Chain A
């Protein structure tokens, strides 16, 4: 039997949301959780918020003044971890007191962490309670993202090590790891996350066009980081100026030649997908070709649109084109993935990469989870000591895939 909506309860939750918005207007980043708990106290719940670290291995509690801080939670092998990886809410068993929910905290579709919601008594309507908690944590995800730039505390919680200057620079230039809209998902991962410099990715979705790119600058460390940020900033500025793929590449050529006395080049793929028609246009500036995945299989590498690396002007090329089918996926990567060697000198290789990517997708994992696992597998392959930056990006032209990145 369908339950009557409890209007009084609905109003109490609405009031808590409004109160939270009002309270956080002037809140410092480190005051966010205390304000949250003040706002939801009338609902008879208490919340502990956990943020994921950059290596995506553990969930770290946000400290709250006057309360003991619980220990970090491992993502692998815990219910909290399953909540994070699957972007799904899990409830404790009904007969265990107090009633407890693990709720994913996403900023739109970017996985920021999870929240543990403890209720004084089990809710009368568990389904409504779950939905309300998910909405509340969606708002909190937005607030965490909005408040992060104004202090260091939210950044600090996500770090288990200091960032290198190059990684610090790059981190603040990159868009969030994951963006989903109604028709598609773009997700990326960058390793080693505390020490990356020469690799980057970018994307933007406007009207029916999704634009996405990956970059790999020559060299290592901050020098490579400066090279890469110059290419990224130049292509982004050109894109926002309404220029096409070729002009974006030329803008990067010009920026790299103007800024640096020595030759600096950046390889990369610049692509745009028309979400109405499936027409993909792309250029490949000396980079490994993107892989097209269709119906759970890697069907081919996209070998068109080849030009010289960014930084070396090239007028003799044509933009590549491909017509995607609904449900198609693209896999973009830098050679730090395929050229990762283990102790015995064995390459990670393209076959292993496409196998793991298709496995993840066929298991209907959220795209960011497929990438998290892949990145960890590549790191393990190298015995935890990567010799180069490694970037992966998955683009899924699929409404179902977008749905999977949401609670």
Chain B
């Protein structure tokens, strides 16, 4: 059974969700709950830090797309920080790097620079 640890912090009105482990069908529930809560209000500003996530499957990817969509619908944004090589490859193949905002690290994601 895959495991994903999820930690939520807030910095300058930005919710920073940090996940570590494997994000897949079996482990997505914690991140889904954290994302749902983060985008549940007006103009959400959310960074999902994934540098400690070693593997993301298609269910995990759908979770990120859903989070992005909800954030946009609420007039805010969701940004991904520090994706690993596997997630980058997946974002490239699926073309979802065109839809999702991806940054090298949390600082860049919070600022929204150097995408």
With A286-B94, A286-B96, A309-B94 as known contacts, state yes or no: A219 contacts B66, CB within 8 Å: no
A287 proximity list for chain B (CB < 8 A): 93-94
Interface string of B46-88 (1 = CB under 8 A from A): 0000000000011101100110010000000000000000000
User: A7 interface residue, CB < 8 Å from B?
Assistant: no
Q: Which of the listed residues B25, B65, B93, B95 has the most CB atoms from chain A within 10 Å of its own CB?
A: B95
Is A88 an interface residue when CB atoms closer than 8 A count as contact? no
Q: Flag if B69 contacts A309 (CB, 8 Å).
A: no
Q: Is the CB of B62 within 8 A of A264?
A: yes
Q: Could you tell me the dominant secondary structure of chain A's interface residues?
A: loop
A 330-368 contacts with B by CB, 8 A: 335
B98 interface residue (CB < 8 Å to A): yes
Q: A308-B98, A312-B99 are in contact. Are A265 and B93 (CB under 8 A)?
A: no
Which residue of the partner chain, among B59, B95, B99, contacts A218 with CB atoms under 8 Å?
A: B59
B65 close to A265 (CB less than 8 A): yes
Interface mask (A278-296 → B, CB under 8 Å = 1, otherwise 0):
0000000111100000000
**Bound-complex Cα distance A367 to B95 (A):** 31
Q: How large is the interface on A (under 10, 10 to 19, 20 to 34, 35 or more residues)?
A: 20 to 34
**A288 to B93, Cβ gap below 8 A?**
yes
The residue of chain B having its C-beta at the shortest distance from the C-beta of A317 within the complex is B95
Closest chain B residue, CB of each to CB of A216: B58
A230 to chain B, nearest CB (A): 15
Flag if A263 contacts B93 (CB, 8 Å): no
Whole-angstrom distance between the Cβ of B63 and the nearest chain A Cβ? 8
Residues of A close to B96: CB separation below 8 A: 286, 308-309, 312
Q: Which residues of A contact B65 (CB under 8 A)?
A: 263, 265, 312
Chain B residue at minimum C-beta to C-beta distance from A285: B95
For A265, the chain B residues whose CB sits under 8 A away are 58, 62, 65
Contact check, A263 vs B69: say whether CB atoms are below 8 A apart. yes
Instruction: Tell yes or no: A307 within 8 A of B by CB.
Output: yes
Q: Closest residue to A284 on the B side, CB-wise? A: B95
Distance A38 CA – B27 CA, assembled complex (angstroms): 60
Closest B-chain residue to A219, C-beta based?
B59
Q: How far is the CB of B30 from chain A (nearest CB, A)?
A: 17
State whether A286 touches B93 (Cβ < 8 A).
Answer: yes
Interface residues of A, Cβ cutoff 8 Å to B: 217-220, 262-265, 267, 285-288, 306-309, 312, 314, 335
Some 27 contacts from A to B, beta carbons below 8 A apart, are A217-B58, A218-B57, A218-B58, A218-B62, A219-B25, A219-B58, A219-B59, A220-B25, A262-B62, A263-B65, A263-B69, A265-B58, A265-B62, A267-B93, A285-B95, A286-B93, A286-B95, A287-B93, A306-B95, A308-B94, A308-B95, A308-B96, A308-B98, A308-B99, A309-B94, A309-B95, A335-B93
